[in-house]
A and B are shown apart, each in its own frame.
Chain A
């Protein structure tokens, strides 16, 4: 966005005010951009500490695990996502750093999820011992660096941040995938990951450049505003370019989501890289990619209430100034943003004065953009989910099977997005419930998948194999772990008393609601495919459970010792208990997720 200032001094002081809030030079206002960005700044500080402390003698003795752990806990405490249910008004939508990032309940929720995952991941890596003492600093630095990029992705409000977040998360991931030295498979996986990833990012960037050229902006709410004004009058050739740009951007997002035509790297990377890295890519990276998808479709497909309101207010002004060429865009943009900032501050101060007349301006341009995105994403979600489940059948390597299961789950979570788009204007509360469905799914998915990958990693340490057939008869030698694994597998299927059922139910219920209200036929297809896929996935998860519990133990195997009462066993238990008992306390997660999406669409 452009800052409109009469002089350089005004420009600088405006940027400073936006960054650190009003006040003296030394104080930083709590609701200023820097104040709200503090968790990420602490994370940056942690990364720098990790790098610098190694230069000194003390750093050679210090285990970087503790530095990373303290840094992540501090970030989580500063963010304090548990305040979401206590005081939702604190998390009203607000733009940071002149519109680059957005701060709202959803970004707080997602960042809380990412930091929480980071803490659990560090403990997991510590217990499984994958980073050798010499490597550990590098690996923790890369993981924290990728987490920083994922945080930017989940708060993106500008296409530059979208691209930067993806790159900042991907580049450390490439290195993580190839961190095992002199390992043929790991180096092959990393090369494929890096080449495909960089290619997809390049194509996405070209799409962004086309969109930027068509609509003269890269700021998402302004983009939505431009689309609503200009899309109906566009020529066919321009519409073609817009559709192509949308496809190209979708290609980059689909790559991060491991969605259907761009999924091929996931099985290779998961098989080549250690299970710990698989856990990171399948949970944190997927969570942020989904958050980014929601950000992009909400940003492009809907007008934030403050922008919509000021648009109605300034319509007359804008029409009048249309005559003066050259100044048109500045006068269009300026009221929207100045108004946006002013109102968000005002709203955070006195939350009771929510304007009652927030009647949304129905715009055919935005509706067309939304329908295009909804149909595209519905198609991709259906293909992704089905393909992931079908390809998981013939796998013998457990990590490869979990990779296809990750693809299928990503497709399932994406199914909520067409539902969100279909009713974004007509029933914002139903649309918000679709996003809260994704949020609930992601939290449950975190426990399920981290548990599954932890068991795979611990079994690899105990018996040196990752083939499903080698798991035969594990029930006898390590019953505790086997029972935990079976519970997690049943939850991944989505069987009723377990957490996975709640996750799938939340998403499907939101899509069904959206279908009831909008009556769009493609949502029906999404629903049918979602239910069918749950049935398809039954077989390959059950196969693993059958091999572990029913088949006899091979004679040749050395005894596997993995007791439940060890660090590893306790960690697995810690992941399994929430999965098994979630149904008891699921109301509080639902409340938190609903509070998180309160301000995503509308006031």
Chain B
């Protein structure tokens, strides 16, 4: 029971962030569906965001990143949205040309 009553520290946030990161990287590496890969990228970005917010909080550590942490998270959210919009448009254009969004079907360019 004592484990459940422990004070939440930066490490707890970092553990969740690292879990997101690893899940995202696995998703990017193993998914064959382009949308699955894009979801993996979002997970990686959000794992990093969680780290930034945890490091930025002054309640968790006396030496914190300060407002920079929160601001970076905000900017990353916006950039991730822009990136997702473009990546989805490209996935659509890939679908128009190949009638599938299986990334393994894109194998014409190599050498």
Binding site for B on A (CB under 8 A): 1-2, 159-160, 163-164, 167, 170-171, 174-175, 178, 181-192, 194-195, 198-199, 201-203, 205-206, 208-210, 212-213, 216-219, 267-268, 271-272, 325-326, 328-329, 394-395, 397, 400
> For residue A204, which residue of chain B has the nearest CB?
B48
Let me know if A191 and B94 touch, CB within 8 A: yes
Residues from chain A with Cβ under 8 Å of B52 in the complex? 209, 212
Let me know if A174 and B87 touch, CB within 8 A: yes
Residues from chain A with Cβ under 8 Å of B71 in the complex? 160
Minimal beta-carbon separation of B18 from chain A (angstroms): 9
17 interchain pairs, CB-CB under 8 A: A170-B83, A171-B86, A174-B90, A178-B90, A181-B93, A182-B96, A186-B97, A195-B28, A195-B87, A198-B83, A199-B44, A205-B44, A206-B44, A206-B51, A209-B52, A212-B65, A213-B14
Q: A171, A213, A328: which contacts B82 (Cβ < 8 A)?
A: A171
Say yes or no: is B12 at the interface (Cβ < 8 Å to chain A): no
Let me know if B75 and A216 touch, CB within 8 A: no
Closest 9 CB pairs of A and B: A202-B44, A209-B51, A188-B106, A268-B109, A205-B48, A213-B55, A187-B97, A206-B48, A187-B94
> For residue B64, which residue of chain A has the nearest CB?
A216
Residues from chain B with Cβ under 8 Å of A184 in the complex? 97-98, 108
Minimal beta-carbon separation of B103 from chain A (angstroms): 7
12 extra interface residue pairs, beta carbon distance < 8 Å, beyond A167-B83, A189-B109, A217-B68: A163-B76, A187-B90, A188-B94, A190-B94, A198-B41, A198-B87, A205-B76, A206-B21, A208-B48, A210-B51, A213-B55, A328-B63
> For residue B85, which residue of chain A has the nearest CB?
A171
Say yes or no: is B111 at the interface (Cβ < 8 Å to chain A): yes
Residues from chain B with Cβ under 8 Å of A209 in the complex? 17, 48-49, 51-52, 55
Minimal beta-carbon separation of B46 from chain A (angstroms): 9
- The residue among B38, B52, B75, B98 with the most chain A CB atoms within 10 A of its own CB is B52
Let me know if B48 and A194 touch, CB within 8 A: no
Let me know if B55 and A212 touch, CB within 8 A: yes
| Bound: A268/B111 CA distance, A | 9
Residues from chain A with Cβ under 8 Å of B94 in the complex? 187-188, 190-191
Let me know if A216 and B44 touch, CB within 8 A: no
Residues from chain B with Cβ under 8 Å of A188 in the complex? 94, 97-98, 106, 108-109
Q: A189, A191, A268: which contacts B103 (Cβ < 8 A)?
A: A191
